[in-house]
Amino acid sequence: MGWIVAVIAVAAAVAAAARAQSAARSEYLALTRAELAERQSKAAEARTAALTDEIRQLARKRIPAVALALSHPTARVPGLREAADVDGDAARLLTEAVQAARTAVVEERGRVDAAARAAMRGTSAKIQSLLNQSQQLLHELQHEYDDPRILQLDFRNELALRRTQSTAVLCDAWPGLARRNSPLVEIVLGAQSRVAGYERIKVANHLRDERLALVARAAEPLAIALAELLANATAYSHPDTDVQVTVQQSGGRGAFLVVDDAGIGMDDDALDRARALLAGPSEVLLTELGDPPQTGFAVVGRLVVQYGFSCHIEASPFGGMRTILRVPAHLLTVLEDDRTLSALAPKPVQAQATSSASAPAGPEPAPAPRPAGGHPAELPSRRRRAPRPTPARPAPAAVTPDREKVSRTPEEAGASWAALQQGTLNGRSTAGRPTAPAPDDPATQDDQSDRNDRNDRGDDET
């Protein structure tokens, strides 16, 4: 009987031990689950915090940096700060968000720029039409009224017209002026007349063929491009310095227009930017040209792409910058012999050298005969400070000596024609007199330069 009780007691003890072990194991499992849940909760909180920080950085730094990098390629765009705490899907979605924001900004910038170009293109066309009408009216007024302010208005109208043309070209519009085949040197003079500092521009003609010309479709675009380069050279150089323009012809490679200034030059970043614009990039946004916009090189680059020119800029031996505008051979032609060149166009340097070298070989001209009174019996004419001998004539007559053909501005040319007209009128008014006025008469002693100073308004009184 006792052993039964012992067995029962042992069995009860074993059961109690099993229950205790099971309870302990359950408690351990519960603790383990609690710790695991706590760790998972902490990890989830960390991932949530990291994702929140990445989203915050995306909104505050990454997307603005992407927008800035579109205008400034050197700007740095930050990446994920804590990539280890963000799982693969979240990191991929964040990267896609950055790319989507960039695409949206690019498309919106393109739409805004296209709208701005369209508005400026339409406005430029209307303004250009009005300026052309004003120019025609001013030319008519110059022949009716003797007022130097008309010439000043005409010149300022020309400056406004050039800026309007440049704006139109930058907005992908037609230059707005059609020409026929034009001599290359006349195109250079036309570009010079559109620049505020035109009197500082010195043109050297080194063409082998004086009648080398540009085809009609490229004449006005080349004038616009060269005017922009000249305006840039005069604006960024000292007013007391000259801007040298050299026109050269190079075998089958076409012609070159070289512009040298003694200005302030460019640093490396500005030079790289200028070369990129002159190369004619596929897209130049108006917002990328600065405030106020600096459109000169962008306009030249646009014309380079459209008409096949090429332009290069480098440091000049004069201390400033040198720009080389190349005209390809297929845009060049030669004018017919019956086409008269402008009197203002500079002669080729070789022709001038040949003319000056052969001039002393001629016979020395004899002085004109004088009557007994000691004064020449001829009509009053303009005199120079350094008198030149005149060839002998059988009868007294007005002699018109050959003048050196030098490059003159439009104002100087107008003044010369006005002085010639005044001399003719004075000669007609005194044609009935027996002898010419006395030498001390101011009407006969004024030299050519004084006449030009008094008649710089273009047309004389009639």
> Token pair 């491009």 is at which residue?
225
Q: Decide if 448 contacts 384 (C-beta within 8 A).
A: yes
Nearest-angstrom CA–CA distance, 373 and 299: 67
Could you tell me which residues come within 8 angstroms of residue 361 by beta carbon, excluding any fewer than 6 positions away?
none
CA-wise closest residue to 162 among 133, 120, 191, 121: 191
Q: Cα dist. 177→168, 213, 360 in Å? A: 12, 17, 46
Give me the torsion for CA of 182, 185, 191, 194, rounded to 10°: -100
Query: Which residues of the chain have a pLDDT value below 50?
Result: 354-406, 428, 430-462
Of 259, 370, 366, residue with least CA distance to 323: 259
DSSP E strands in 113-254: the ranges are 182-183, 201-206, 212-214, 243-249
The pLDDT value given to residue 383: 41
The predicted structure's pLDDT at residue 311: 92
Tell me what pLDDT residue 1 has. 65
Q: What is the pLDDT of residues 58-73, one digit of tens each?
A: 888 888 888 888 877 7
**What's residue 177's pLDDT?**
75
Dist. CA 106–CA 100, nearest whole Å: 10
How many whole angstroms separate alpha carbon 208 and alpha carbon 187? 17
**For residue 440, with 0-12 CB atoms within 10 Å meaning exposed, 13-18 middle and 19 or more buried, which class applies?**
exposed
* Alpha carbons 100 and 174: distance in angstroms, whole number: 36
C-alpha dist (Å) from residue 176 to 117, 165, 350: 16, 7, 36
As a whole number of angstroms, the distance between CA 369 and CA 132 comes to: 53
Q: How far apart, in whole angstroms, are the C-alpha atoms of residue 224 and residue 220?
A: 6
CA 50 to CA 243: how far, in whole Å?
A: 62
pLDDT of amino acid 410: 59
The pLDDT value recorded for residue 231 is 92
pLDDT score recorded for residue 445: 37
